[in-house]
Amino acid sequence: MGEARRTRARGGGRKSRLAARAHPARTIVPYLTRKLPPYELLSEAGLETIEQNAETILEEIGIDFCNDAEALAIWKDAGAAINGQRVRFPRGLCRSLIQQTAPTEFVQHARNSARSVRIGGPHTVLAPAYGSPFIRSLDDGRRYATIDDFRNFVKLTYMTPALHHSGGTVCEPVDLPVNKRHLDMVYSHIRYSDKPFMGSVTTPERAEDTVALAKLVFGNDFVAENVVTIGLVNANSPMTWDGTMLGALKVYARHGQATIIAPFVLAGAMSPVTVAGASTQILAEALAGMAFAQLVRPGAPVIFGAFASSISMQSGAPTFGTPEPQLVLYVTAALARRLGVPFRSGGALCASKIPDAQAAYESANTLQHAMLAGVNFMLHTAGWLESGLTMGYEKFILDADQAGMLQVLADGVDMTETGQAMDAIREVGPGAHFLGCAHTQANFETAFYRSNTADNNSFEQWEADGAQDAAQRANTIWKRMLDEYEAPDIDPGVDEALKDYIARRKAEQPDSLY
């Protein structure tokens, strides 16, 4: 991507050559395996206090399970106290339900098995941003997103080795009817990529459509036994799970598919303003949601999701890249580890409207800390602008470059003899230079991460090249990538079956705006 490329080649191996040029000598891996210990920012005693306080919330205050009589009945059977929609839980019940049956890590299969990902433990999976109704590019400025944009981001993600997962609603295709667009989104993930993908959660029927389409790709028997899609199930913080999200949760869980059980907290509005308070509430909400999934189907894979932002106490607007949410990230990651479930958080979060310095500081401040916290599934790794309202083409490219750097960080320090490099130091000695020494010659291809968006040239060369900023360079890159994109192969029979299913489902209902 970052390499000059003037001529176009054709042929079967082209995509892999392109990928190799993008990150010349670094191994392409389907997901990261961290060799770094997670950073334990808060003491054991502090974490225990938060866990006890979360149990107090569950026992004394309770969690609302709204507009879902079945959910209340399930909880009653499990021994919880029901009062209206309020569910109160005996201390330790939720934790025990989760620890008895929820997997500590699991594989989400991709239709290309080489791209299947392992979620949990020391593994980290990076996925693009999710949910923006707008897109921004240097060419178009800001405008509503369309299905063409959606396909573009699926394609760009497919071509980006540092992103391991195709994501879900990479942007909202607002040109399509609300009640049908999920079919086109899921199809795009399947057809234009072969990386794993997320499904629809906006109604139980759309979640069922997601699983039905996946069955056409993977086969009924395989889907019955394996995770092939993930649903993002957000809490209505504080302490509320609503019927829509519970409906989607139940569909995914009953099919043995994974869910991210994700409190979504703008601290100060939807949780207390303090780090410990927000983390406690997040834990309580996540415990109730994940335990519910285990009651629906014991063993259903769940991911402890934590999305926390602070807000401007003047305007109420969300803020990103500030230190308080980073602290929440470390605390909740540790809580997930102690519970024994995979953890989702992080991303290139920012409030900036454009891919400027604000966007980059804010994004880096979350990306780097999420990696050290030991995140297992990072949604919003690339593209996020304007507090999630906008998916940026240039921002996507810049963030994806940062995602590549996270791989190197996760690899940690090579302490082999080659890594120790004592031969090089002996060969060169005081006052000389290492450029030509045998060790450097043998290792320079893989020695340093090569950014495809940074300009490291001299000032004079940079000026001669047009004095471009990072966003302008990124603009060139995404256009070249889309120009060079080639879809992965798909079995024509499968493709036909997918199209037939979608056509039938679209014909069954009129277009709708909700």
Q: Kindly identify the residues of this chain, within the stretch 250-309, that bind its own copies according to CB under 8 A.
A: 267-278, 280-281
Residues between 67 and 106 that touch its own copies (CB under 8 A): 86
Which listed residue (8, 11, 415, 514) binds its own copies by CB under 8 A?
A: 415
d(CA 374, CA 124): 8
60 belongs to the binding site for its own copies (CB under 8 A): yes
d(CA 161, CA 411): 16
Per-residue binder mask for its own copies (CB under 8 A), 158-197, x = binder: ----------------------------------------
Stretches 188-196, 206-214, 235-243, 336-344: which one binds its own copies (CB under 8 A)?
Answer: 235-243
Which listed residue (72, 354, 375, 403) binds its own copies by CB under 8 A?
A: 354
- Shortest distance, position 130 Cβ to its own copies, whole Å: 19
Peptide bond into 238 cis (omega under 30): yes
- Shortest distance, position 83 Cβ to its own copies, whole Å: 11
Q: Which two tokens stand for residue 341?
A: 């479930």
42 belongs to the binding site for its own copies (CB under 8 A): yes
369 belongs to the binding site for its own copies (CB under 8 A): yes
CB proximity list for 104: less than 8 A, separation 6 or greater: 120, 121, 340, 341, 342
363 belongs to the binding site for its own copies (CB under 8 A): yes
Residue 102 DSSP label = S
Comparison of 200 and 407: residue with beta carbon closer to its own copies: 407
Comparison of 168 and 374: residue with beta carbon closer to its own copies: 374
Which listed residue (184, 230, 362, 477) binds its own copies by CB under 8 A?
A: 362
222 belongs to the binding site for its own copies (CB under 8 A): no
Q: Which two tokens stand for residue 497?
A: 């079956």
406 belongs to the binding site for its own copies (CB under 8 A): yes
Among candidates 151, 260, 257, 150, which has minimal Cα distance to 208? 257
Comparison of 62 and 204: residue with beta carbon closer to its own copies: 62
Residue 330 buriedness (CB in 10 A; 0-12 / 13-18 / 19+): buried
Specify the 3-state DSSP secondary structure of 158. Answer: helix
Task: Report whether 157 contacts 414 (CB < 8 A).
Answer: no
Give the phi and the psi of residue 207 in degrees, each rounded to 5.
-65, -40
Pairing of strands 302-305, 258-262: parallel
Sole residue written with tokens 């759309």: 206
- Shortest distance, position 445 Cβ to its own copies, whole Å: 7
116 belongs to the binding site for its own copies (CB under 8 A): no
497 belongs to the binding site for its own copies (CB under 8 A): no
Which listed residue (44, 70, 148, 469) binds its own copies by CB under 8 A?
A: 469
Comparison of 275 and 502: residue with beta carbon closer to its own copies: 275
Beta bridge partners of 302: 259
Which listed residue (18, 58, 63, 185) binds its own copies by CB under 8 A?
A: 63
d(CA 44, CA 29): 34
